[in-house]
């Protein structure tokens, strides 16, 4: 896997905020700076005071799909900080999978941002499969960016804990080599 790249894109004209992210699954850090430069790279390990990942329990229901698993895990993280769940935005899942496929073909995270009507997006580009493991690992890495208010350092966490959004669509694409590209579109 290449070095992960993160860049911030703010579309002020329409009040849309999207975090362009390159969270390669085998990378232990993210490069983060406004405009995509090489800024400080926070590690994927949770900073002191950050809530841990939601506990796994043997009696937890098994998600019917990886998309449902994605929504369930985001909502489990939200519950850890006292927030209500996002609704599963099923109408945008096929479109989100198309975004993930397009981004995998261009090698550009967030290249298709905005095509599904989302207001914000997190992306897991090129994570090793299977998809269920990629989603869990990527969401855990994104969660570990917070808490914080600097979007260039904590943007994934901010999207996951936002009270401005009410729903999330998880779009997943698996490449022939088994690697996973996945977007989480928020609205």
How high is the pLDDT of residue 81? 97
Q: What is the C-alpha end-to-end distance of the chain, expressed in Å? A: 30
The rounded percent of the chain whose pLDDT value lies above 90 is 65
Q: How far is CA 4 from CA 88, 129, 134, in A?
A: 28, 17, 15
pTM above 0.75, yes or no: no
Ramachandran quadrant class, 114 (left: phi over 0; alpha: psi -120 to 50; beta: rest) = left
How high is the pLDDT of residue 52? 52
Tokens of 25: 């699954």
Question: H-type helices in 19-175, by residue range?
Answer: 66-80, 93-106, 131-143, 151-161
Question: Who contacts 78 (Cβ-Cβ below 8 Å, separation ≥6)?
Answer: 84, 85, 86, 160, 161
Question: Who contacts 163 (Cβ-Cβ below 8 Å, separation ≥6)?
Answer: 83
pLDDT at 62 over 90: no
Q: What burial class does residue 141 get, using C-beta atoms within 10 Å of its C-beta: 0-12 exposed, 13-18 middle, 19+ buried?
A: buried
- Rounded Cα distance between 62 and 44, Å, is 26
CB-based contact 72:56 (threshold 8 Å): no
pLDDT tens profile 89-143:
999 999 999 999 999 999 999 989 999 999 999 999 999 999 999 999 999 999 9
3-state secondary structure at position 29: strand
DSSP secondary structure of 101-127 = HHHHHHT-TTTTTTTT--SEEEEEEEE
pLDDT tens profile 9-42:
222 222 333 333 334 333 322 222 222 322 222 2
> Which of 15-19, 65-69, 141-145, 176-180 is the least confident region?
15-19
Tokens of 95: 């479109």
């Amino acid at each position: 896997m290449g070095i992960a790249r993160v860049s911030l894109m703010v579309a002020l004209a329409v009040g849309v905020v999207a975090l362009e992210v390159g969270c390669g699954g085998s990378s232990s850090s993210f490069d983060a700076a406004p405009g995509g430069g090489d800024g400080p790279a926070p590690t994927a390990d949770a900073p002191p005071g950050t809530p841990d990942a939601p506990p796994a329990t043997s009696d937890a229901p098994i998600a019917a799909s990886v998309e449902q698993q994605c929504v369930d895990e985001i909502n489990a993280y939200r519950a850890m900080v006292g927030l209500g769940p996002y609704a599963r935005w099923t109408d945008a899942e096929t479109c989100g999978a198309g975004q993930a496929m397009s981004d995998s073909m261009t090698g550009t995270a967030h290249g298709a941002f905005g095509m599904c009507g989302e207001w914000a997006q997190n992306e897991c580009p090129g994570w090793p499969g299977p998809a269920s493991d990629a989603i869990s690992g990527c969401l855990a890495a994104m969660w570990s960016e917070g808490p914080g208010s600097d979007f260039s350092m904590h943007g994934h966490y901010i999207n996951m804990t936002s009270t401005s959004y009410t729903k999330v669509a998880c779009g997943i694409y698996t490449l022939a080599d088994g690697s996973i590209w996945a977007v989480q579109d928020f609205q």
